[in-house]
Amino acid sequence: MPFPQTRLRRLRTTHALRGLVRETRLTPADFVYPMFVAHGIEGREPIAAMPGVDRLSIAHAVTEAGEALALGIPAVLLFGIPLSKDEDGSEAWDDEGVVQLTTRAIKQAHPELLVIADLCLCEYTSHGHCGVLRPDGIVDNDATLERLARTAVSQARAGADVVAPSDMMDGRVGAIRAALDDDGLVETPILAYSAKFASAFYGPFREAAGSAPAFGDRRSYQMDPANGDEAVRETLLDVQEGADIVMVKPALPYLDVIRRVKQEAAMPVAAYNVSGEYAMVKAAAAAGYLDERAAVLEALTSIRRAGADIVITYHAKDAARWLQET
């Protein structure tokens, strides 16, 4: 019925009424908390571009993971910063590598917390690209698959509950699934960075992880930001190859892609609220331009509303505290 019989404001009059009819719920159980773990450091090293986020020693990562768990956050996502790098990124699949050691330590201290291992070579290669290089400097897609598969097996053997390939090589989900199954790790899920765009919003992460390419860029393997149809194709190919969860990265500039991926894939969808998105809010809040708490909760709610079941965010601990206060 039209106005005046229909008045949508009726259900907005009180806090309780607004809560009763709220369509999208945001809880700490929706979050994954990313952490940077550095081999060989003591304590914490602040990351200038990401206020409130530090590079962590293994011991401090265990503590940080425990804090996340206590706030109701069910999972952490580990990024490793190795002692040394080489052309192949060989510490990625070293059973005594930083992600493997941290996974074992976290699972021993907090067995109920899910550990997701980011699976890429960019933090480990001396050139900063996400795979091994051909003589002409182009990333060799097929040669990289074997290294990624080996890394996935090493991470899963170390106790990772989920492996998360973020490299954007063609065919890597299938190669990883086959390697895990061949090693008897048939129950290890794959969270595929399926629609990962060549984004301007990764800058602070590359400072944090020391993973900026030494030359060129990643546009030959990460996606063109203009392409939504291709994002759906990428996702459906990963599903066919055995992905258990798919991801869109970044989140806020790609809410339309999150919605399309959720509708087309009809499976759990993660979205990564990336370092640049985090840094923008932090900088604006520090300058007094916006209310940090309100802006963060609105942004994370919008990611959930677009269709993400899982939100990977550096805001996770703060957001969990704020949600407990409401």
Separation of alpha carbons 236 and 67, rounded Å: 36
**In this structure, what is the dihedral angle of CA atoms 206, 276, 164, 303, given to the nearest 10 degrees?**
180
Separation of alpha carbons 174 and 307, rounded Å: 25
Which residue among 85, 107, 196, 262 is the active-site one? 196
Separation of alpha carbons 308 and 27, rounded Å: 13
- Write phi, then psi, for 265 (nearest 5 degrees): -85, -30
Residue 61: how many CA atoms within 13 Å on its side-chain side? 34
Residues β-bridged to residue 276? none
Separation of alpha carbons 139 and 317, rounded Å: 36
Q: How much is the CA Rg of the chain, to the nearest whole Å? A: 20
Q: Report whether 193 contacts 249 (CB < 8 A).
A: yes
Residues β-bridged to residue 241? none
The tokens describing 100, both together, are 């493997």
Which residue among 85, 107, 249, 282 is the active-site one? 249
317 part of the active site: no
The tokens describing 308, both together, are 């993400």
Separation of alpha carbons 130 and 143, rounded Å: 12
Q: Report whether 236 contacts 194 (CB < 8 A).
A: no
196 part of the active site: yes
Residues with a catalytic annotation lie at 196, 249
